[in-house]
A and B are shown apart, each in its own frame.
Chain A
Amino acid sequence: MKNLFIADNSSISQKSDFEEADYRVLEYSRENSLDEWIDKFVCEIHDDYTNIFLPLCFGATLTDFLGLRLALHIRCTKGKFQACNIFIYGSESLKQIIKNEFFDVLKLPGIFLIDYSLEEIKKYMQLEEKQVGGSSIQNDLDLLNLKVPLHLFDNHSVANIWGMHRLLDLGGADSKTVQSLSSIRNSLSNIFFKWLLAKNDIESLRNQVVKDAEEIFKSYKYKIEGPKVVGKIDLPESKKKRPE
């Protein structure tokens, strides 16, 4: 059992309150793109945690309930901690957050909204087992239905970003080696795409996809190689010397 406690920079909690847990502080600045920043924050978590505790509200606008968004980022980020139990602590009632676009995150197995109290948090820190199996995450994420981000002006952009990434993924190519794809890479830190990627992770199909490609290549190679001529090549009649 290993716990991570994530505190807001305005949090009243202290590291000393959770001596047996790792303690990290969110330092969100509005200058950053929200999803890029959260993605970076989550990607810096490398340990395998059983339980992660995070605040329901952080950042400048507390009514955004960014904790729900952060929870979904954790569930959608590949890593040892992806299937951990997530406890979102806050003092707001369900009635206040029900209209938030990420409210449905609370429907996912292993994600809970708890009271912001030391006793409550310490109680859940005793949980020793993850409630979610790694393989069920893809199915769980299908319970959500996220909307296309507003800044992507139409479906055309979504299709292109998704289509390009998908093809790269299937082709087993590393997008980091291609300069012109930097804009795609940034887009993929958006929670909408992270959610799509996580629920449609092709890793389980990787071997089959590689095998398919090899078979197609092999059959084509056979076609283009053409006929083999072994030994003496007989000249056509027209090339032979005319008999006297």
Chain B
Amino acid sequence: MKNILLVDDEAQNGWSDVLKVTVFKDQKLDYAETKEDAREKLTLQKYDLILLDLRFGQDDHVQVDIENFGGFEILTSCIRNEFASVNFATPVMIFTASNKVWHIYTLLERGADDYYIKEHPTTMRDLEFSRANYKRLLTSITELNELGRKRSTVWNLIMSIQTKLSESIDNENIKSRIRDKLRVGYATLFSKPNLIEKSVLLKSNEILAYIILWSILEEIAKDSFQDSWVRIGQYEGNMIANKWIFKNGGILSVPMDNSDDIEVGIKYDPTEKYWFGKKVRVSSKNWEYSKLTGRIDLSYQITGYMLLCKRMEPFIIKAKFNPLRDFRNKTAYTHSSIESIFQEPLSTSEIRDEAYKKCLEMLKFLEEIIG
């Protein structure tokens, strides 16, 4: 059962009941008739959908500037004011009798998701208007329910990751970059490309969001090594051996000869030339190596991080990390694997359809390895 909030000064005068018997038949419909009531409810409770009237009472009706309308104030100061707001991810439908397009545009810019224009005798042109307006209301509500479900899932994961960040990431700059990337990922995932952008310009917010979220792994890896990105070992034309030192003393060794394995262990003695300790063998047989990007570094580093810092078993890593890496290699918007970058179309519909799911998997993965 969905939990819906109607913010409207006429809620008790009929709107609440009208909506209950028409479009929200089996849902829980709460209401707030004043700004104060709305503020309190929106602070204390998470809703699945908010219907927000634009003007409250006669005071608002003498106002001309939209920024002085009660609905605008609630939207900008209680709902979309900060990412951590309880109802930040909740879809907002403006529920108004105003048909002023510049008002609608301003509200959409400030984070409203859609609008319903209450029918007014002076704006109604014909019966088809009524039919279309009603049809649009029903469609919008179903779409907003779907959007709200997706956004809330992602928002909850991001909030959980953000909470865990302070414990597991040392570097303040990296911590801040991860927070920023999570928000950029959220914004990219849920901004709405138009049909031209999607079909003609091949834009897929889901794929772009995935790449942004993937790059958080680089931040984690960077935070995990003593001297990140500086390898110990020889580098002469072709890499023959790579080693990275973890902050906790662990060493990751990636032999790039004919071996299919990487080895990770805890350094036994800093003066020793070679490292000892627990060795974990991870098959890298199917791992892709891009000379263009050097992203093999990240794959190995994250694997090493998971093995050592998160104490995960290789088969768990295989199940969780490898599919994410494989998908990243398919997304050819930026660097991709050498097998796909010059071979595959830039963005196939198959990848697009899968990208939202992969974003979720990535966030769950991040939550797990950061936590």
Mark A residues whose CB is within 8 Å of B. Answer: 148, 153-156, 158-160, 162-164, 166-168, 170-171, 173-174, 177-181, 183-184, 196, 200, 202, 204-205, 208-209, 212-213, 216-217, 219-220, 223-224, 236-238, 240, 242-243
- Are A200 and B124 in contact (CB-based, < 8 A)? yes
What is the minimal beta-carbon distance from B318 to any residue of chain A, in angstroms? Answer: 6
Q: Which of A164, A170, A236 contacts B134 (CB 8 A)?
A: A170
Q: Which of B120, B135, B142, B313 contacts A163 (CB 8 A)?
A: B120
- Are A156 and B55 in contact (CB-based, < 8 A)? yes
B85 close to chain A: CB less than 8 A = no
- Are B21 and A180 in contact (CB-based, < 8 A)? no
Task: Given A200-B124, A202-B131, answer yes or no on A183-B22 (Cβ-Cβ < 8 Å).
Answer: no
Mark B residues whose CB is within 8 Å of A. Answer: 10, 12-19, 21-23, 55, 58, 61, 97, 118-122, 124, 127-128, 130-131, 134-135, 137-139, 142, 145-146, 313, 315-316, 318-320
- Are B131 and A167 in contact (CB-based, < 8 A)? no
Residue of B nearest to A213 (CB): B138
- Are A177 and B130 in contact (CB-based, < 8 A)? no
Closest 7 CB pairs of A and B: A171-B22, A237-B319, A163-B118, A159-B97, A220-B142, A173-B21, A170-B134
19 contacts between A and B (CB under 8 A): A154-B61, A159-B97, A162-B119, A164-B18, A166-B130, A167-B22, A167-B23, A168-B18, A168-B22, A173-B18, A178-B14, A178-B18, A181-B18, A202-B127, A216-B135, A216-B142, A237-B315, A238-B320, A242-B313
B131: chain A residues within 8 A (beta carbon):
170, 202, 205, 208-209, 212
Residue of A nearest to B320 (CB): A238
- Are B138 and A200 in contact (CB-based, < 8 A)? no
Q: Give complex CA distance A150, B126 in Å.
A: 25
What is the minimal beta-carbon distance from B136 to any residue of chain A, in angstroms? Answer: 10
Residue of A nearest to B318 (CB): A237
Query: Other CB < 8 Å A-B pairs besides A166-B119, A220-B146, A238-B316, 6 of them?
Result: A156-B55, A178-B21, A181-B14, A183-B14, A202-B130, A224-B146
B18: chain A residues within 8 A (beta carbon):
164, 167-168, 173, 178, 181
Task: Given A154-B61, A242-B315, answer yes or no on A183-B127 (Cβ-Cβ < 8 Å).
Answer: no
Task: Given A183-B14, A209-B131, A216-B139, answer yes or no on A237-B316 (Cβ-Cβ < 8 Å).
Answer: yes
Interface centre among B55, B61, B120, B121 (most CB of A within 10 A): B121
What is the minimal beta-carbon distance from A159 to any residue of chain B, in angstroms? Answer: 4
A168: chain B residues within 8 A (beta carbon):
18, 21-22
Residue of A nearest to B149 (CB): A224
- Are A180 and B17 in contact (CB-based, < 8 A)? yes
A217: chain B residues within 8 A (beta carbon):
138, 142
- Are A160 and B118 in contact (CB-based, < 8 A)? yes
B10: chain A residues within 8 A (beta carbon):
160
Task: Given A180-B14, A219-B142, answer yes or no on A200-B127 (Cβ-Cβ < 8 Å).
Answer: yes
B13: chain A residues within 8 A (beta carbon):
160, 180, 183
What is the minimal beta-carbon distance from A195 to any residue of chain B, in angstroms? Answer: 10
- Are B17 and A158 in contact (CB-based, < 8 A)? no
Q: Give complex CA distance A86, B139 in Å.
A: 44
Residue of B nearest to A178 (CB): B17
What is the minimal beta-carbon distance from B107 to any residue of chain A, in angstroms? Answer: 17
Q: Which of B12, B14, B124 contacts A164 (CB 8 A)?
A: B14
- Are B120 and A162 in contact (CB-based, < 8 A)? yes
- Are B120 and A200 in contact (CB-based, < 8 A)? no
Interface centre among A155, A159, A242 (most CB of B within 10 A): A159
What is the minimal beta-carbon distance from B53 to any residue of chain A, in angstroms? Answer: 10
What is the minimal beta-carbon distance from B239 to any residue of chain A, in angstroms? Answer: 29
Q: Give complex CA distance A177, B16 in Å.
A: 14
- Are A238 and B97 in contact (CB-based, < 8 A)? no
Q: Give complex CA distance A115, B119 in Å.
A: 42
Q: Give complex CA distance A200, B124 in Å.
A: 9
B130: chain A residues within 8 A (beta carbon):
166, 170, 200, 202, 205
Residue of B nearest to A240 (CB): B315
Q: Give complex CA distance A171, B13 in Å.
A: 18
A160: chain B residues within 8 A (beta carbon):
10, 13-15, 97, 118
Q: Give complex CA distance A153, B57 in Å.
A: 12
Q: Give complex CA distance A178, B135 in Å.
A: 23
- Are B55 and A162 in contact (CB-based, < 8 A)? no
B138: chain A residues within 8 A (beta carbon):
212-213, 216-217
What is the minimal beta-carbon distance from B25 to any residue of chain A, in angstroms? Answer: 9
What is the minimal beta-carbon distance from A221 to any residue of chain B, in angstroms? Answer: 9
B127: chain A residues within 8 A (beta carbon):
200, 202, 204-205
Q: Give complex CA distance A202, B130 in Å.
A: 8
Q: Which of B16, B137, B319 contacts A236 (CB 8 A)?
A: B319
Q: Which of B15, B122, B137 contacts A155 (CB 8 A)?
A: B122
